Amino acid sequence: MRTVYRRVAISKNLRRNERIRISPIRLIGADDEQFGIVDTAEAMAKAKEAGLDLVEVAPTAEPPVCRIMDYGKWLYSQKKKEQKSKAHRHETELKEIRIRTPKIGDHDLEIKVEHAKDFLSRGDRVQFTLRFRGRELAHIDEGERIFEDITKQLVGVAKIDQPYRREGRRITMTLAPAPKAVAAAAVAKKPEAGAPQPAPVPPPTAVP
* Residue 65 clears pLDDT 90, i.e. is over it: yes
pLDDT score recorded for residue 137: 79
Confidence (pLDDT) at 125: 93
pLDDT at 76 over 60: yes
pLDDT band per the 50, 70, 90 thresholds, residue 194: very low
Q: What is the pLDDT of residue 74?
A: 86
How confident is residue 3, by pLDDT bands cut at 50, 70 and 90? very low
User: Would you list the DSSP string of the chain?
Assistant: -----PPPP--TT--BGGG----SEEEE-TT--EEEEE-HHHHHHHHHHTT-EEEEEETTSSSPEEEEE-HHHHHHHHHHHHHHHHHH-----EEEEEE--TT--HHHHHHHHHHHHHHHHTT-EEEEEEE--GGGGGGHHHHHHHHHHHHHHTBTTEEEEEEEEEETTEEEEEEEE-HHHHHHHHHHTPPPTTPPPPPP-PPPSEE-
Domains defined along the chain, listed by start: 17-79 (3.10.20.80), 94-189 (3.30.110.10)
